[in-house]
Copies of this chain bind each other. A is one copy, B any other.
Amino acid sequence: MKIGLAQINAVVGDFPANVKRILAAYRECLDGGAELVVTPELALVGYPPRDLVFKSHFVPRCLQALDYLAGEIGEVPLVVGYIDVHHPARPGKPFRNAAAWLEQGAIRQRIWKTLLPTYDVFDERRYFEPGETCEPLRWNGWRIGVTICEDIWTDESLQRPFYDRDPVAELSTLGIDLLLNLSASPFHLGKPLQRQALISGVARAAKVPVVYCNAVGGNDQLVFDGHSLVADAAGHIRAQLPGFVETCLVIDPFNTATAAQIEAEADPAQLYQALVLGLRDYVTKCGFSSVCLGLSGGIDSALTAVIAADALGPQAVHGLTMPSGYSSAGSVEDSLALAHNLGIGCDVVPIGDAFEAVKAAMQPVFAGKPEDVTEENMQARIRGLLLMALSNKEGRLLLTTGNKSELAVGYCTIYGDMCGGLAVISDLPKVRVYEVARWLNREREVIPWSTIDKPPSAELRPDQKDQDTLPPYETLDAILELYVEQHLSADEIIGRGFEENTVRWIQRRVDLNEWKRQQAAPGLRVTSKAFGIGRRMPIVQRFGG
């Protein structure tokens, strides 16, 4: 049985465009000889639609689009993800996360998602009622299990055993020949490998081939990486679709003659591709065609610029480098060298006069109080103001360039360097920023080596270095991993051998800066626990570390 996998990039809520995209992929699969075509989860809708589903006409329009789509489907069935209504008179949530089996111009069958993730970035119990039964679908003598994303995730693959049901086991007990899974499984580092192990295990447990079609594309903070998979009944991965691109594949999962050659991609390559796709989709799906950003001569803004130039083309990217009296010569030189390497525009806009004017305005209020972090923040905020002016004047989306380590401890200025519509690398710890930058330079100098090699500095006071304030980044990132991602206490982290004062300083800074992060630009999630929608901390709290 030849099955087409339509690994498509849907736009949330754009039903007409998503129908077109699905039909184009369906027809491409037909041309490839497919006898059955599968899309990702909620392919008709885009994942996640979040509270859009509550709009009075959102799900009705989705159902209209499904009807239209069904009318375009012939003998070769299409299994497509959409949102259905739950029975209005029965208790529960108003909707279903659903898949429809379309065939011969009609909706032949509707399947509900059974396991509804409600953790991390997922809120499905807010919207959906789980399916009550899991039954195989019969088609041409085959018994096919149709599942949606979480339905096949086993206890071992999750943080803890969340569910008291096991759709794969229920389907297996009833008897299936093939398992389909429609997914919208977002990327984080290591996820593609994790999914291979999962799909392989599911196939082995169910003793049938598994066809796993994952979404691709960026939607707000989430980047879906594709990497759809096909496993045979013995659990061998027979195909993996390319990552980070919209694509189709037609394959017979019962024909196990050829094994897939899957090259594991290096971490920086994965991270970089995810960020390029996430940036491109955020900018273009929002309707922008160009971006701007501040270039400081430092590594964070340099990496952000490279990602932007790759995602949108260099002509769509414009930098400002904004020296002050505290800026090193390198800050302008390295910025211009980077701009030259990338072929992007860059203007030099000194901030000295504006800084003096702002200080003068506040002088009567401050009445002789000494300069302190206030004046450092003023400089960062003047730069933010100038960048937003460029953004407003030219209709460019401003990219903010901060990394995860500084966002964690608040080593960044709100309304200053935090200004922007998208925080491109805000989920990359600083050590990873260096790793990706060196990987980018593996063949030729993309980011000036002087940018990579110099000690990092905010250059907001004379001879300032990040490490005047922060622990070494290796230490900072290691502690942040334990505190933020693993939720360990300061005491537990100290118990692992880290220096007490450092741990407590980091813990306090992370907690105190929650308010800043809640006003941060959305960031592209590339680790298993990003600041953003998957981490919901109160601002007002006194728990401590």
Contacts and interface: CB of A to CB of B under 8 A. Distances in A.
A58 B537 CA distance: 13
A377 interface: yes
A518 interface: yes
Contacts of A489: 55-57
A543 interface: yes
Interface stretch (A200-208, A234-242, A298-306, A379-387): A379-387
A294 to B, nearest CB: 13
Interface stretch (A76-84, A87-95, A135-143, A453-461): A87-95
B415 A541 contact: no
A542 B392 contact: no
Nearest to A57: B489
A72 to B, nearest CB: 21
A199 to B, nearest CB: 22
A419 to B, nearest CB: 5
Interface stretch (A161-169, A225-233, A496-504): A161-169
Nearest to A486: B56
Given A358-B386, A389-B374, A536 B123 contact: yes
A49 B320 CA distance: 42
B91 A540 contact: no
Given A13-B541, A155-B91, A385 B389 contact: no
B365 A390 contact: yes
B50 A536 contact: yes
Contacts of A354: 354, 357-358, 360-361
Stoichiometry (number of copies): 2
Given A522-B539, A538-B52, A393 B372 contact: yes
A54 B384 contact: no
A353 B349 contact: no
Contacts of A51: 535-537
A86 to B, nearest CB: 10
Given A487-B54, A541-B11, A388 B377 contact: yes
A521 B46 CA distance: 28
Interface stretch (A28-36, A103-111, A281-289, A440-448): A281-289
A46 B54 CA distance: 29
Interface in A89-134: 90-94, 118-119, 123, 125-126
Contacts of A541: 11-14, 46, 49, 52
Interface in A358-378: 358, 360-362, 364-366, 369, 372-374, 377-378
A350 interface: yes
Nearest to A15: B543
A488 B58 CA distance: 10
Contacts of A389: 358, 362, 366, 374, 377-378
A158 to B, nearest CB: 10
Given A14-B542, A378-B385, A489-B55, A361 B351 contact: yes
A265 interface: no
B92 A219 contact: no
A151 interface: no
A347 interface: yes
Given A118-B118, A382-B358, A542-B13, A91 B56 contact: no
A366 to B, nearest CB: 6
A393 B522 CA distance: 28
Contacts of A384: 381, 415
Contact of A220 (B13, B320, B539): B539
Contacts of A262: none
Interface in A495-545: 515, 518-522, 535-544
Contacts of A358: 354, 357, 382, 385-386, 389
A263 interface: no
A75 interface: no
B56 A488 contact: yes
Interface string A272-294: 00000000011001100000000
A170 interface: no
A356 interface: yes
B164 A91 contact: yes
B539 A286 contact: yes
The 4 closest A-B pairs by CB, nearest first: A13-B543, A357-B357, A14-B542, A374-B392
14 contacts: A12-B543, A52-B541, A55-B489, A56-B486, A57-B492, A118-B123, A125-B125, A286-B515, A349-B362, A354-B360, A357-B358, A358-B382, A365-B390, A388-B414
